[in-house]
Amino acid sequence: MTAPVFLAEEGGLDGDTAVLRGPEGRHAAAVRRIGPGEEVDLVDGAGTRARCTVTEVGKDTVVCAVRDRRTEPAPRPRLTVLQALAKGDRGELAVELMTEAGVDRIVPWSAERCVVRWKGDRAAKSLAKWRSTAREAAKQARRARVPEVADPVGRDGAAALLGKADLGLVLHEEAALPLSQVALPGEGAVSEAGEGIVLAVGPEGGVGEAELEAFDGAGARRVLLGPTVLRTSTAGVAALAVLQARCGRW
């Protein structure tokens, strides 16, 4: 069984000893009941992983001896999902599932047919929930990198992001081209500074015509995920599985 993963404080993996404090330390000590002698992985969320042995445990602190430290390279191509806002906890479910499936960045998308609208305090709270969900799901998946959850965008922002991508894709139930058959950019066509593959997942009501026109104009391709219609909370993870396998990341 792989070692549990915890997020270290910024700069907390620089020395021979690392200490988990606050909520993360309390979770490790009181909830997970980590004890001296156990093996844990501490990560910084940006690719650095430290293999550690627990030496001391307090009420809300866990002291670890760092045995090995390495930085895991960022996978390529970068996979970004434009995720339409969803009602209830379906947006957070989408974030959780996509994080477990290896997404690199999630961009909340306020699509025209979204029932939910992020405004004022609600926007800040909802975005914080998505980011917290990504952090916890990354630990569950034993990831060294926590996916970025960017600020929300509307139609223009989504089109701009698709236009900058090495490959922009829009899931659409009436598309003729299956996602499993779309031509992927070759290794030489994916730039280090590029956006990689950007995938748009629409809301339950579908992507609006004005949005489709904007995305077409940005050079994005409409693709079909499969013969069934998935919820917005599960379409992203299904599409990511296809892309991960086809890109050789899995």
- Give the pair of three-digit tokens for residue 57: 């445990």
Pair 226, 112 in one domain: yes
Nearest of 93, 27, 104, 128 to residue 232 by alpha carbon: 93
Pair 40, 144 in one domain: no
Structural domain count of the chain = 2
Average pLDDT of the residues in 121-145:
96
Q: Residue 46 maps to which CATH number?
A: 2.40.240.20
What is the model's pLDDT at position 10? 81
Distance CA 137, CA 5 (A): 11
Give the confidence band of 12 by pLDDT, cuts at 50, 70, 90. confident
Residue 133 has pLDDT above 80, yes or no: yes
What is the model's pLDDT at position 1? 72
Question: Strand 148-149 to strand 105-109: parallel, antiparallel, or no bridges (unpaired)?
Answer: parallel
Pair 55, 105 in one domain: no
Pair 119, 187 in one domain: yes
Residue 190 has pLDDT above 80, yes or no: no
Strands, sheet with 105-109, edge to edge from the N-terminal-most edge strand: 148-149, 105-109, 79-84, 197-201, 167-171, 221-223
Q: What is the pTM of this model?
A: 0.93
11 is in which domain, residue-wise?
5-71
Pair 224, 165 in one domain: yes
Distance CA 14, CA 239 (A): 37
- Give the pair of three-digit tokens for residue 114: 């979204």
Pair 83, 58 in one domain: no
Mean pLDDT estimate for the chain: 94
Distance CA 39, CA 53 (A): 5
What is the model's pLDDT at position 186? 72
What is the model's pLDDT at position 121? 87
Pair 25, 87 in one domain: no
What is the model's pLDDT at position 217? 98
Q: Residue 145 maps to which CATH number?
A: 3.40.1280.10
- Give the pair of three-digit tokens for residue 15: 């020395």
Of 26, 43, 71, which one is at a domain's C-terminal end? 71
Average pLDDT of the residues in 21-35:
93
Pair 176, 151 in one domain: yes
Pair 15, 139 in one domain: no
What is the model's pLDDT at position 2? 87
